[in-house]
Structures are given as structure tokens and as C-alpha cells.
Structure 1
């Protein structure tokens, strides 16, 4: 019963968001609340909601201060100068822009943090896409593919979870997947180039009319620019990211401190500080509300036992005759499974049981672990409503979850299948 209700809940949330019958925030709150009441767990609803909110509170707070930090730096002209420099190099060539976006994302995701990657790449690249009138969904898709493929790294969350749950050395799990991961990177690069060519055709002659010269500023915009503080602000951005990546301060603390320093140096006038914060607060709070709604959704799904029940149900319905092919099956469904299972539930509940069943027919647990990291919360994490980083991605690019999933899902699945195919070819995963 729990598994069925859980599956229906997730499908209804995804369907209502993608068809725009409900807003993302409404769907993430209303549908799981109704499911919880239907299960007769209304008395526990408050506890589930609080647990979910506590889980995402650091990310939600970080998002608010990060958005204020980056948007006010935009007012100061930091990104404008960087963008003008990049546009001067690539010109009005969407292919170069898309390939560059993918390459930057891969390097930014070397730390394995989706939130940090999105906070580094999107504020830097979005103004370029806007200047060339390119589709924001393309930016979100390319960043999702780059971050998702790189999330297979040995220090990435999914790979570490898989190795831990199967009690095997992480490098034993990962090393044979190096070539398949490289194939996935090449596939993602080809997709980025394809999107660039598609945007070139769509924009056509209008690209020739795009001026790569700096945009003429209004008097109000000029008044907010701080060209003499460019290098200070750039060093502040780099220092903030380094402190966050190194774990010296929690992410929310990094952006709180960075925001205060940036305001005091660039805009010491208290009234002007308040005016700038007011100007950007709406955007920050709107997206933070979606993040907290996602926390409520996850809190209810976990607390009510629906996710655990779905994990057990998946194991139970797998016929024994399919056991010899468990690795391939898991590899095929791993990316879409990210929409149903959070990483802890899949890697610590589903995977060990499947590995035990597969052992009976001669498959090693490590085979299933490699198949799982092909897509489960690797290429799937930037699309899943169960990960706060997804909402950070769509919030920064300014698109809704349904648009992002429709635009990205098949491409992410394609890359995961390419990785799986190459892994089977070289013998890293048995057919």
C-alpha cells in the first residue's frame, strides 16, 4: 500500500508540474500532504514537515544569500566585465558558448558539489546566453549533463554511497568506469555542440545583429557600477567559493559573510544597501520557497515510509529469472530512478538487497554498483525533485522544473545509456 501510494504521489507531482496544472511549490506541498492524510498518518504530518524543512534549511538559506550576493555584484558590474571579455573571444557563436559552458561545468564540478557548481557556472554564463538571446533551457541542460557525468567521480556522493553500501573499496568500484565516463563526457560534449548548432539555426541572421560591444547603460545603472573595485570583488568571489569548497565555513555562512563584506565595501551607504536588497529579495525568496516546499515533499515521503516501501517493492517484484541481468537492468533504469528514490534510499536500501539476489547467480555486488552510478543521482540528480540542488539550478536559470525536466530528461538518459553501453563493451558491467 505504502509503495503504491508513494509511486502515485511522485507521478502526480511530476505530471502536475510538467503539465503546469499546479505550480511547482503547490504540487510539492499539496500532493504529498494529501497522500499522508490518505494513509491515515495525519497526526504525524507536522513532524514529517518539520524534519523535511530542517533538512533543506541550510540550502534554502544559502540560496537566499547567494542570490543577493551574485545579483548585487551584477549591479556592481563584475559579471558584465567578465561577460564582455568572453563574448569578445567567442563572438556571437552559440556553438562555442555551449561547448565552453560544458567544459566550465566539468571543471567546476571536480569538487563533487552540485550546489557549488551551479553557483559558479550559471551566474557567469547566463548573461552571455541573454546577450545572444539563447534559450535558458539549453544552459540548464548543458550544465546538468556536465555536472551529472562528473558526479560519477570517486569522491562524488553516489559512488561513495555505492562503495559503502556494498562494502568494497571505492577505487575498485570506480576504476573500470573511467573509460565509460570518458565516453559519457564525449557524448555530453557532442550534445552541447548540437545545441549550439540548433541555437545558431534558430537565431539565424539575428546573430549578426548582436553587438559584442558593451551594452549602453542607463544613468541609474552607471551609478551602481564600481569599476575600481572589480579586482576586489573578483577576489571576494574566488575566496568565497574556495572557503565553501574547503569546508572552512558552511555554505550559508560563506555567503552571509561575503554579502556583508561586499555591501560594506561597494555600497557603504545603509539606505542604498537596503534599496539593493529590496530590489532582489523577491527573486531570492520565491525560489527559496520552492526549496522549502521540496523539503516538505521529501520529509513526508521519507517520514511516512513511502520511499522505503517503494525500495522494498522494487526488490520484491524483480523476478528471479532476471537476476543474471540485474546489472544491465539497473544501468538502464538508474537515471529515471533518480526521480523516485533519493540517494540514501537507493544505495543503502535497494542496492544491497539486489546485490544479494544477484550473488546467487554469479554476479558480484560491484557489478551492480557500477551499473547504479551510471545514472542514479549522477546524471539524474540535476533533474530529481528529491535533491535541493535541482531547485538551485532551475532557480538560477529562471525556468521551472517541468520545463527543465522535459528539455533535459531524454538527453541525460541518452548519456547514461552511452556510459552503460561502453561499460558493457569493455566488460566493466556484465550483460
Structure 2
């Protein structure tokens, strides 16, 4: 019963936001409350929801100050010269821009942190997409899928969880997957090329021979001339570079890092309280909308966990596997990793489900390393889950709706997982049958 309620809760939420019958902010609060009451919980729903909000609070703080920081940098004109030069470099060609999106996202994703990837790549690329009139959904899709593929590094999270749960060396899971990851990247480059060609037919090529002076402000990211600080360009660039280096090294918690970065950037660029209030007011709609959704997601995950649905859902799926399918548990694990990591958290899947699958597979001569590698296949699809906070950051920075992003991206996320899964099977990472 709990499993059915859990799946129904997530499915109801997805249906409401993808059909635009409810805003994500509303659905994330109302849907779990309704299903929590159906599950027989009343006043105890409050502590569950509060626990979920507490767990997600650092992410909400980080996202709020990250948006404010990059908003100040955009207003001050930090990215304007880079956009002018990038337009010349790509020669205004949408194909080069879209393919370059994958290249940049793959490179930045090597640090294994999705939030970092989203903040760096969107900050670099969104002005270019806006200037050329490219569809930002393409950018969000390709960045997320690139992050999903590269997230399989041992320091990325899923691989470390799977290795810990199975008590194996992370390298034993990661190294065999490297060729399959390379195939996934090639597939994303091909997808980017197709979308780039489509955008080129729609928009044409913007011709810019050189990054000439732009007195009319046509090639710019900042929208308020009074807020620009061209004399502080190199100071802002140095501050942003230092922030990103600190972010990648992980020396300081992200929430604290962006709070400090925002405070320093404010003192440098807008020391007058009136000027700073104007900048905060300009970005307040984005900040409020984003943070409200993040804390609402905490309510969703709190109810899902507190009611026991998160444990019941994987058990019910495992019970559906008939004994005669045992020799095929490796590809079954790969296939299950898509819905499992979508409906429940990575922790619940890798620590609660994968060890059970590995134990069952061992009776058919399938190694736990093979099961561990197969369990990583669904990560590109996992990032579409409403339970992943970093995805809300991505759609907020990219300026797209969460439901639109899911509707646009999910077929390509499934296709990316399928490409990696087939490649891994063909390369012998895990056996098709035991």
C-alpha cells in the first residue's frame, strides 16, 4: 500500500507540473500532504515536513546567494566582453555554440558536483544563447545530460555510494565504465550537432567580424546601464575566479562561500545601500521563486521518507522480478536504475536496493562489481527527478520552467541511458545473462 501511494504521489506531481495544471511550488506542498493523509498520517506530517526542510536548507541558502552573486556580476557587466569575444570565436554559428555546450559541460563536470557545473556553464553560456536567440531548453538539456554522464567519476557521488554499499574499490566500478561514458559523450555531441543544425536553420548565422566597441549596448548581458561597472571588470573577474576555485576545491561549504562572495561583491560594486537594494530588488523575483521551490521540495522528500514510502517503493519493484529472470539481473539492474533513482534518492537506491540485487545475482555467477557498474547507468535520467535539488538550480539559472525542462529532456535522458547501457553490455562491463 505504501509503495503504491509513493508511486502515485510522484506520478501525480509529475502529471500536474508537466500539464501545467499546478505550479511546482504548489504541487510540491499539496501533493505530499494529501497522500500523507491518505497514508494515515495526521499531525505527525508536520515533523516529517520540517525534517525535510532542515535537510535541504543549506542547498536553499546556497542557491539564493549564488543567484544574487551572479546577478550582481551580470549587472556589473562582467560577462559582456566575454560574450562579444565568444560571438567572434563561434562566428555566430548556432552549431558551434550548441556543440560547445557539451564540451564545456563535460569539462566542468570533472569536479563531480552538479551545482558547480550548472553555475559555471550557465553563467558562461546563457548570455550567448540569449544574444543568438537560441532555445535555452537545449542548453539546460545538454548541460544536465553531460553532468549525468560525468557524474560517474569516483568522486561524483553515485559510484562512491555503490562501491561503499557493495564493499568494493570504486575504481573497480568506474574504470570499466570509462569507455561507455566516452560513448555517452560522443552521443551527446551528436545530439548537440543535430540541435545546432536545427537552430541554424531557424535563426541563421549572426555575423560579427571582430569584438568591436559596442556603444549602443547591442552586445551585452547587463540590462541596466547605470549598474555597469566597467572599471571594476578585472576586480570582479578575479573575485569570481577565486570563488570558483574555492568552490571546486571544496574547502568551504557552498552556502557560506556564496554568502561571503555576495557580501564582498556588494561592497566592491555597490557600496551605497540604495544601489544594493536596487540590485537585490531586480533579482528578488528569481530568488524568491527559486528558494520557495527548494524548500517545498524539502516538504516533498520529508513526507516521502517519513511515511516509509521511500523504503516500500524499491521493495515492491524487486518483488516483481520472477526467479527465472535471475540470469538477466545485470541488465535488469541497469533498467531499474532509471525509475529507482527517479522515484527515490540515490542513497535509498544504492544502500537499500543494490546490495539485494547483488546478492541475488551472485547465485547466477554475476559479480557484484558488474551489478555495481550496471546500477550507474540511470544517472542521466536521475537528474530529472523532482527530488534532485541541483536541477531546480539549473532551471532557475537557465530561466526555464521545471516542467518544460522535464518534458523536453526526458526522451533524451532515456536515450542517453540506453546508449550507455548498450555500450557497457557490448564492452563486457556487465553480462547480458549470467
Tell me the TM-score range normalised by the shorter chain.
Answer: over 0.9
> Separation in 2 of the partners of 1:255 and 1:290?
19
> Is residue 2:383 matched to residue 1:393?
no
Displacement of 1:159: 0.6
Residue in 1 that maps onto 2:351:
348
Alignment of 1:320-359 (within 5 A): 320-359=323-362
Question: 270, 278, 293: which one pairs with 1:267?
Answer: 270
Question: 211, 225, 230: which one pairs with 2:228?
Answer: 225
Residue in 1 that maps onto 2:89:
89
Alignment of 1:401-412 (within 5 A): 401-412=402-413
Alignment of 1:30-109 (within 5 A): 30-109=30-109
Residue in 1 that maps onto 2:24:
24
Provide Cα deviations, 1:371-399, integer angstroms capped at 9, x if missing partner: 11111xx2124311111001111111111
Identify the range of structure 1 (334-343 vs 299-308) with the bigger mean alpha-carbon deviation. Answer: 334-343
> Separation in 2 of the partners of 1:235 and 1:304?
48
Alignment of 1:139-178 (within 5 A): 139-178=139-178
Displacement of 1:220: 8.2
Question: 302, 322, 335: which one pairs with 1:299?
Answer: 302
- Note closer, same or farther for the CA distance 1:283–1:334 as it changes in structure 2 (3 Å cut): same
Check whether the contact 1:77–1:226 (CA below 8 A) recurs between aligned residues. yes
> Separation in 2 of the partners of 1:313 and 1:291?
29
Displacement of 1:137: 0.3
Matched length: 428
Residue in 2 that maps onto 1:290:
293
Residue in 2 that maps onto 1:318:
321
- Note closer, same or farther for the CA distance 1:209–1:333 as it changes in structure 2 (3 Å cut): farther
> Separation in 2 of the partners of 1:111 and 1:209?
34
Residue in 1 that maps onto 2:238:
235
Displacement of 1:216: 2.4
CA RMSD of aligned residues (A): 1.9
> Separation in 2 of the partners of 1:54 and 1:337?
24
What SS does the aligned partner of 1:193 have? helix
> Separation in 2 of the partners of 1:217 and 1:269?
25
Displacement of 1:92: 1.5
> Separation in 2 of the partners of 1:112 and 1:390?
15
What SS does the aligned partner of 2:374 have? helix
> Separation in 2 of the partners of 1:32 and 1:211?
54
Residue in 2 that maps onto 1:249:
252
> Separation in 2 of the partners of 1:65 and 1:55?
18
Check whether the contact 2:88–2:210 (CA below 8 A) recurs between aligned residues. no
Provide Cα deviations, 1:3-46, integer angstroms capped at 9, x if missing partner: 01001101111111111111111111111110001111122111
What SS does the aligned partner of 1:379 have? helix
Check whether the contact 1:92–1:212 (CA below 8 A) recurs between aligned residues. no
> Separation in 1 of the partners of 2:175 and 2:428?
12
> Separation in 1 of the partners of 2:46 and 2:248?
34
- Note closer, same or farther for the CA distance 1:120–1:209 as it changes in structure 2 (3 Å cut): closer
> Separation in 1 of the partners of 2:217 and 2:207?
22
**Which ranges of structure 2 fall in alignment gaps of 5 or more residues?**
none
Structure 1 runs, 4 residues or longer, greater than 3 Å off: 207-215, 217-220
Question: 266, 278, 281: which one pairs with 1:278?
Answer: 281
**Which ranges of structure 1 fall in alignment gaps of 5 or more residues?**
none
What SS does the aligned partner of 1:217 have? coil
> Separation in 2 of the partners of 1:228 and 1:204?
35
Displacement of 1:298: 0.8
Check whether the contact 2:69–2:261 (CA below 8 A) recurs between aligned residues. yes
Check whether the contact 1:92–1:210 (CA below 8 A) recurs between aligned residues. no
Displacement of 1:361: 1.6
Check whether the contact 2:88–2:208 (CA below 8 A) recurs between aligned residues. no
What SS does the aligned partner of 1:386 have? coil
Displacement of 1:201: 1.5
> Separation in 2 of the partners of 1:4 and 1:209?
57
